[in-house]
Structure 1
């Protein structure tokens, strides 16, 4: 196992001081202006402030700086397990990837989850809170389920198709336990949703640089929270209105860090795929969710429509006044109120787990 550490130049380290000052200034401004919010902004002043902090931090700091100050995904998993009393159970998947069990590995159903963050940010504590909440609530409805969360190599430490290869290996590990595909589900948000799309594409149309993975039957289902399926850096007609945690400013650095010198294709940009590309996806049903206030909403709606043209069993749920990946990032900010997207995800999984 090799998890590379990020190093910074002296200039990048010295830049933290003015960066923190600008982030605090943005927070102060958000606190003042947040007293007069509209429906195009966060539901609460607390979330409004949190979104502003996240927006400013991700636009002001570069990818290396963010990776330098944020704990890696596997460390966050360890911290969460110690806080909750959960057992540490990580699997070395090879090629620099790790898989982490949340819940009982012997559960009847497994959700393989790929976290988001533009391929450049690690999983934060909100993810593990989301996993725990989902397992708890599904258990309350009589479902036996565990989550297997992938720690993949962040970009630009590694570039496409490394992360997709690691995601395929993650699913292969679960299917080899062995498990019936009908008891295995995929889930991912933002860039993680991109990986879910890439894995489904690989199962139906093997990537030329990744070993094929034969699945005997359909996977139980797949959830895509605000999938990032169009790695464009300019978005005509997309307007920022203050209700999201991201801006279009992160698209260029994060997309270029992931793709590197490679050409984009249907595995990186499923929004460009023809309808027939989706028709042979080996999965029973797909749920796509989005926030009503997120800047990617038009792109997600267009993607969902394209998906439905080739694969009928697709549902789109839009959470009123919710941001990008609200089920996770609201929890990361400390707001435990269930989102519409989160409730739809829970209902979707519960309906498919027999």
Structure 2
């Protein structure tokens, strides 16, 4: 099941203490120097310090160490539901993947969401807060909607294509429900989850040789890709990068990509940025919304991917949230800032425009 976790060596355990110490120092320094901030940095001191915490943690700790420290995605879901007085509703979608419901499973529209975290980090509580916010506000606008949040087996416990297979299984499960028209099903994902959105659409259009086909009559209602990680290079492209306004650094590319690929050969399912324009033309979805933050280090990659996507798939939009970091709609909520992000607003409007 998706809650499988790694065990650490003695050295990895001993390394946790100095790593945590470096994180504390980074946050303290950010507070001291963050009273006055530029447009390239977070809008509030709370977020500025929180981003520093995320940067140092993801830079200093390996995916294995972070999995050891953090509760699993499934445990986070259980705790969130208990805290909010709701009954958990979890479905096994196959091959170890789990789907967690937020909202009524019989709603007119379903969003299947794949969380980010470099394929190696669990879905924190910010995800469930965002899902709740999304369902509530869409219902206010007259839309009946539920979110089916997918938790997949993390790398390096499992490697590609396990996560893609679990993602495909989750969509297969939703589409197999009685009276569920594809036009009422939406895909969503952020960072690594955005990669899985692209992977699922790719599989639906071009069957992956190791995954059962997923035919669909008609088109899905839409897809949202927040800061999609569509290039598994272990080093960022040669470009000028400023880390101070984001939650990740270029240091994550190597360990996270290596853990996910696991020695396998990269392809268009893992690296959608490398696919030819013809690859996108058969994507069975009515439209795709891609978002990013103006302060995130992956922005050049996101823009490049969007340009390539539009060469073969015309109904795609790119929206950039001013002064926002990588996956800001979730990161900010996890840090205690309930202010709706510009990306979050656009995503909500996009879904309201396209839902039945």
Report the 3-state secondary structure (helix = DSSP H, G, I; strand = E; otherwise coil) of the residue aligned with 1:36.
coil
* 1:286 aligns with one of 270, 285, 288: 288
- Checking the alignment, whether the CA contact within 8 Å between 2:3 and 2:73 is kept in structure 1 is no
Unaligned residue ranges in structure 1 (runs of 5+): none
Question: What residue in structure 1 maps to residue 225 of structure 2?
Answer: 224
Shift of residue 86 of structure 1?
1.8
> How far does the alpha carbon of each residue in 1:54-79 deviate from its partner, in whole angstroms, 9 at most, with x for none?
10011111111100111101110000
Q: 4+ runs of 1 displaced by more than 6 Å?
A: none
> How far does the alpha carbon of each residue in 1:248-271 deviate from its partner, in whole angstroms, 9 at most, with x for none?
100000000000111111000000
Q: RMSD of aligned C-alpha atoms?
A: 0.9
Mapped pair 1:124 → 2:124: yes
Shift of residue 2 of structure 1?
6.5
User: In the aligned structure 2, how far is the partner of 1:284 from the partner of 1:94?
Assistant: 27
Question: What residue in structure 1 maps to residue 200 of structure 2?
Answer: 199
Question: What residue in structure 1 maps to residue 306 of structure 2?
Answer: 304
Unaligned residue ranges in structure 2 (runs of 5+): none
Mapped pair 1:145 → 2:145: yes
- Checking the alignment, whether the CA contact within 8 Å between 1:233 and 1:248 is kept in structure 2 is no
Question: What residue in structure 2 maps to residue 342 of structure 1?
Answer: 344
Report the 3-state secondary structure (helix = DSSP H, G, I; strand = E; otherwise coil) of the residue aligned with 2:148.
strand
Report the 3-state secondary structure (helix = DSSP H, G, I; strand = E; otherwise coil) of the residue aligned with 1:337.
coil
Mapped pair 1:39 → 2:43: no
User: In the aligned structure 2, how far is the partner of 1:229 from the partner of 1:238?
Assistant: 20
> How far does the alpha carbon of each residue in 1:105-131 deviate from its partner, in whole angstroms, 9 at most, with x for none?
010000000000000001000000000
Matches within 5 A, 1:121-200: 121-178=121-178, 179-200=180-201
User: In the aligned structure 1, how far is the partner of 2:120 from the partner of 2:20?
Assistant: 20
Report the 3-state secondary structure (helix = DSSP H, G, I; strand = E; otherwise coil) of the residue aligned with 1:35.
coil
Report the 3-state secondary structure (helix = DSSP H, G, I; strand = E; otherwise coil) of the residue aligned with 1:255.
helix
The TM-score normalised by the length of structure 1 is: 0.99
Report the 3-state secondary structure (helix = DSSP H, G, I; strand = E; otherwise coil) of the residue aligned with 2:91.
strand
Q: 1:2 to 1:255 in 2, by over 3 A?
A: closer
Matches within 5 A, 1:74-93: 74-93=74-93
- How many residue pairs were aligned? 354
- Checking the alignment, whether the CA contact within 8 Å between 2:293 and 2:324 is kept in structure 1 is yes
Question: What residue in structure 2 maps to residue 239 of structure 1?
Answer: 241
